[in-house]
A and B are shown apart, each in its own frame.
Chain A
Amino acid sequence: MKRLDVAAAAALAALAAYVLFESTKLRAGSFRMPQTGFFPRILGVLLILLTLVELFRALRQPASADAPGKIVSDGWIRIGATLATMLGFAVVLERLGFLLATFFLMVLLLRTIEAPRWPKVFIVSLVASLLSYGLFALLLGVPLPAGILGF
C-alpha cells in the first residue's frame, strides 16, 4: 500500500503543479480586485500543499501496511475491453445510428463481461436496443442519431 500511496500522491502533486502553471496564464488581479486567475491560483497552491502533506505521510508510513486485495489479471482485461467498447460506441454512434450502435455495443459488452451463449447475446442485445430506442426516442422524445438505417 505504501508504494501505491506514494505514487498516487506524487502523481497528484504533479497535477497540482500543472494546475498552478496553467493558472499563472490568467490574470490574478489583487486582493482588492481579484480577477479570473485569482481563485484557480489559490486552489493550485492549496493542492500542492495538500499533496505534499499526503506524500510526506505516505513516505512515513510503515512499508508493509495492508496490501491491496489481489486482483486477477482477467479483471483488468475485462475493464480494458469494456472501456474500449464504450469509447468505440462514442465514435460510431453518429455514423451508424443509435439502433445499430447500441446493438453492437450490447453484443460486445455481453461477450466481454461474462460471455453467455450467442443466441442469448443476440436476443438480449436486440431487446435492449429496441426497448431503449422506444423509451428514449419514442416515449421521451430524445433526438437520437439516425445513421445509416435512416431512423
Chain B
Amino acid sequence: MELLQNFALGLSVALTPMNLLFCFIGALVGTLVGVLPGLGPVGAVAFLLSITFKMEPASAIIMLAGIYYGAMYGGSTTSILINIPGETASVVTCLDGYKMARQGRAGAALGISAFGSFIAGTVGVIGLMLLAPVLGRAALSFGPAEYFALTLTGLTLVAYLSQGSMIKALIMAVLGLIAGTVGMDPISGEERFTYGTLTLRDGFGLVPVAMGLFGIAEVLENLLVRGSQSVYETKIQGLLPNRQDWRDSAAPIARGSALGFFLGILPGPGPVIASFVSYAMEKRLSRYPEKFGTGVIEGVAGPEAANNAATAASFIPLLSLGIPTSAIMALFMGALMIHGIQPGPLFIARYPELFWGFIASMYVGNAMLLILNLPLIGIWVRLLKTPYAILFPLILLFCLIGVYSLNANVAEIVIMLAFGVAGFVLRRFGYEGAPFILAMVLGPIMETSLRQTLLISRGSFAIFLTRPICGVLIGLTVAFLIWPIFMRKKKDA
C-alpha cells in the first residue's frame, strides 16, 4: 500500500508538464546518441550535465536517465540496419538483427527489440522500486570499513569484467584513484598535486575528464580510421512482430529481463555483459543453436531485453548505497552532487519526491520511447546518413561549449583536450577509460573511508576481516584478483 502511495507521489512529480518535456528531450537525445556514431551515452550525459545545473534536481536526473535508456534503444537500431552498434551494449544485436534485416525482416527485428526493451525496462524499474529502499535501509548500518570494502570490490569487479586485459583495467583504475586525489584532501583540506593552480583546487572536474575520455577520444578515433558506412536499403514494413515471433521471443525476453536485472546490480559494464550472457544462454537453451547468427529472433529479443533491464538495475547501488558502479553512474552521482544531493542510504528517505519521481519517469520514458521509436525509425535512418564531415565538428563544438559553460573557465577546455588525447592514446594501447572515470569518482569515498577505518581500528587492518560484510567483500575481491591467474595456470597445464 505504501508502495502505491509512493508511486502516486512519483507520478505527480513525473507528470508535470516540465518534467514530461525533459523526459521527452532525454529520450530523444538518447536515441539520437545511440543511433549516431561518434558520441556514446557517457559522452552525451557528460555534455548535458552542464545544461542541468540550472534545472530542478528532479528534472535534471529525469532527463539524464532518459538519455541513458534512450541510447540503449537507439543503439539497437543501427545494429540491425547497418551492422554498426551505436553503443557497446548493442554489439550482440548485430549478430542476428542485421541478418534478419538482410532477409527482409528488419521490421520484425526492430519491433521485437523495441517491445523487448520496453518489457525488460519495465521489469527493471519494478525491481529498482522494490529493491532500492530495502538495500538503502540495510546500508544504514554500514560503517566506513564496509564502504571501503564495497568500493574496493566494485573497482576490482569492474576490472575483472573488463573486455580487455584485467591488468590494464587495474592500472586504469589506480590511475583514476590517483586523479581523484588531486585537489583538496577530503579530510584535512590540504592541497595535493595542484601545483598552485586555482582550477585544480577542487580536483579534476568530472565533466571535462569524462568528455575528454569519452567524447573527444571517440571522435579522434573515428577521424583516424574513417570507414564508409552503408545503410542497408530496405523497405521496413510491418514493425509489429507476428504471432510466431512473439511465441519465439516471449521466453528469451523473460529470461533476458531477469538475467539483465541481476547482472545490472553488479559493478562493471552491466548492460554489455548482460547482453552477451543472454545471447550465450539463448543459444545454449535453443533447440536449434546452429541457427544463431543467421537471423533468429531469439538472438535479438534476449540481449535487447537484458541490456535494458540492466540499465534500470544499475541505478540500485547508486541510489541506495551511494556507490556508482559504472562510468555513467559516476556521472549521475556527479549530477546529483552538483545540486547538493548525496546519493546513499538516506537518499530515499530524504528526497522521496526525487526518488519516486525518477522511478515514475522511467516508466513514462520507456513508454515514450516505444511510441517515439517505432514510427520514427525512418527519421533515425535518414539521420544516420548525416555526413561525418558535419557531424564531428558539431560534436566537438558541443563538447567545447559544454565544458566552458560549467565554470566559464578556459582552463577546463584544456583539461578536456588533454584527457581526450590521453584517452585516445591509451585506448589504442588497449587501456579503457571506464575504470578510470569510475575510480576517479570513487577515490575520495575510498580514501575517506580507509582513513576513518584506520583511525577507528588504531591502525589495524584486521577490522576488514572481522566485520562480516567486510570479510565477505574482501574475500570476493581477492577471488576476483586470483581467479584469472588460476585459470591461466590451468590453461597452460
A residues with a Cβ closer than 8 A to B are 4-5, 8, 12, 15, 19, 22, 26, 30-40, 43-44, 46-47, 50-51, 53-54, 57, 68-69, 71, 75-76, 78-79, 82-83, 86-87, 89-91, 93-94, 102, 105-106, 109-110, 113-116, 124, 128, 132, 136, 140-145
Contact = CB atoms under 8 A, between A and B. Distances in A.
Given A89-B400, A128-B394, A113 B451 contact: no
Interface stretch (B91-99, B274-282, B405-413): B405-413
Given A34-B455, A79-B220, A136-B401, A69 B193 contact: no
B225 A36 contact: no
A113 B38 CA distance: 13
A35 to B, nearest CB: 7
Given A32-B459, A124-B390, A132 B397 contact: yes
Interface of B: 51, 54, 165, 167-168, 170-171, 174-175, 177-178, 181, 185, 187-188, 190, 192-193, 219-220, 223-226, 387-390, 392-394, 396-398, 400-401, 404-405, 408, 410, 413-414, 417, 420-421, 424, 426, 428-431, 446-447, 450-451, 454-455, 458-461
Contacts of A46: 174
B397 A128 contact: yes
Contacts of B170: 50
B455 A33 contact: yes
B171 A26 contact: no
B387 A114 contact: yes
A93 B220 contact: no
28 contacts: A12-B171, A12-B175, A26-B190, A32-B454, A32-B459, A36-B190, A39-B181, A40-B192, A40-B193, A50-B167, A54-B165, A75-B223, A79-B424, A82-B220, A83-B421, A86-B396, A86-B413, A106-B397, A113-B389, A113-B392, A115-B389, A116-B389, A124-B393, A132-B398, A136-B405, A140-B405, A141-B54, A143-B408
A39 B393 contact: no
Most chain B beta carbons < 10 A, residue from A90, A116, A136: A90
Contacts of A8: 426, 429, 431
Contacts of A145: 408
For the residues of B in contact with A, the DSSP-based class is helix
B315 to A, nearest CB: 26
A32 B329 CA distance: 33
Given A47-B175, A79-B224, A136-B405, A87 B417 contact: yes
Contacts, number: 154
A142 B398 CA distance: 13
Most chain A beta carbons < 10 A, residue from B192, B388, B431: B192
B171 A50 contact: yes
7 A-B pairs with least C-beta separation: A114-B389, A31-B459, A32-B459, A109-B393, A75-B224, A8-B429, A90-B413
A125 B414 CA distance: 22
B54 A78 contact: no
Given A19-B178, A34-B450, 7 more contacts: A33-B459, A34-B451, A43-B177, A79-B220, A105-B397, A115-B389, A132-B398
